[in-house]
Every structure is written in structure tokens, then in C-alpha cells.
């Protein structure tokens, strides 16, 4: 499972990890019922503490995407999350689009970005 973290990113590390795993799940690279790597392995790959990854896993569990079992590992449960955070996601979308507009990108350029991102996110859906 290939993920990275970016020092300059203002999101906390555990959040970046959680977001990247969400992407893997959405893209189907981590199918339902598949096992996630152990927290220690991901931590070692990224050079961070295992608890940092554990926090990310717990967040994903809280959102209903994976199931974490003490002793056994973590497993992908579902590709659909509880809807209660949809408004938050909408706000984040708005902020991201605003930033891109302020960066000088045209509407067409932004739509191209969105389509590209959505393509990999939704092409492999069941």
C-alpha cells in the first residue's frame, strides 16, 4: 500500500494518512474485506510512530469504512460512509475550489482537474 505524507501540508500526519487510505478505498485499490497493513508497517514505511497510524485507523473505523480488531488487523468494511459529514465535505470542496480560482486557474482548467480526479475515483466502482 503506497502512501506518502507531506511535511508542508498543514493537515496533521494522521489526517493525511486517513485521507490517502480513503482514496485507496474509493478507487477500489483496497476492496471490501481486504486487509490493511499493520500499523507498525505503515509507520515504519513513513518513518513515524505507530500511534500516529493507529489514530488514522481509528478515524476510518469511526467513519464506518474499516473495522479494526485488537490482535487481528484492520479490514475494509464498506465503500460507503455514514452521510453525516457530507456538509463538512461540501465546505472543504468550496474552500479548495476557491483556492484554485484564486491561484488563477480558469474554470475549464479546474473542471479538467475535477474530472480527472473523479475519473480515478469512480471508474472502478461496482
- The binder of 38, among DNA, its own copies, none, by C-beta within 5 to 8 A per type, is DNA
| C-alpha cell recorded at residue 14 | 494522521
Site for its own copies contains 3 (CB under 8 A)? no
Q: Where are the beta strands (DSSP E) in the chain?
A: 66-68, 74-76
Taking the complex as a whole, the smallest distance from the CB of residue 53 to DNA amounts, in Å, to 8
Q: What is the rounded distance in angstroms from the CA atom of residue 57 to the CA atom of residue 37?
A: 11
Quick check: 39 and 1 in contact, CB under 8 A? no
Nearer CB in complex with DNA: 40/107: 40
Between CA 85 and CA 99 the distance in angstroms is: 21
112 binds its own copies (CB under 8 A): no
What does residue 116 show for φ and ψ, rounded to 5 degrees?
-65, -45
Of DNA, its own copies, none, which one sits near residue 52, judging by CB under 5 to 8 A according to partner kind? Answer: DNA
Residue 32 touching its own copies (CB under 8 A):
no
What is the dihedral sign for C-alpha 33, 37, 43, 45? negative
19 binds its own copies (CB under 8 A): yes
Residues of the shown chain interacting with its own copies in the complex, contacts defined by CB under 8 A: 6, 8-11, 19, 22-23, 25-26, 63, 65, 79-81, 83, 85-86, 88-105, 107, 110-111, 113-115, 117-118, 121-122
Amino acid at each position: 500500500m503506497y502512501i506518502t505524507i507531506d511535511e508542508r501540508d498543514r493537515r496533521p500526519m494522521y489526517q493525511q494518512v486517513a485521507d490517502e487510505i480513503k482514496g485507496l478505498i474509493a478507487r477500489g485499490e483496497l476492496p471490501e474485506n481486504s486487509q490493511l497493513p499493520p500499523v507498525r508497517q505503515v509507520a515504519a514505511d513513513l518513518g513515524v510512530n505507530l500511534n500516529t497510524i493507529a489514530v488514522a485507523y481509528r478515524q476510518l473505523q469511526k467513519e464506518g469504512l474499516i473495522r479494526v480488531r485488537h490482535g487481528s488487523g484492520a479490514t475494509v468494511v464498506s465503500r460507503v460512509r455514514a452521510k453525516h459529514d457530507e456538509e463538512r465535505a461540501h465546505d472543504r470542496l468550496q474552500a479548495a475550489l476557491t483556492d484554485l480560482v484564486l491561484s488563477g486557474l480558469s474554470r475549464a482548467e479546474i473542471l479538467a482537474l475535477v474530472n480527472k480526479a473523479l475519473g480515478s475515483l469512480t471508474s472502478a466502482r461496482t
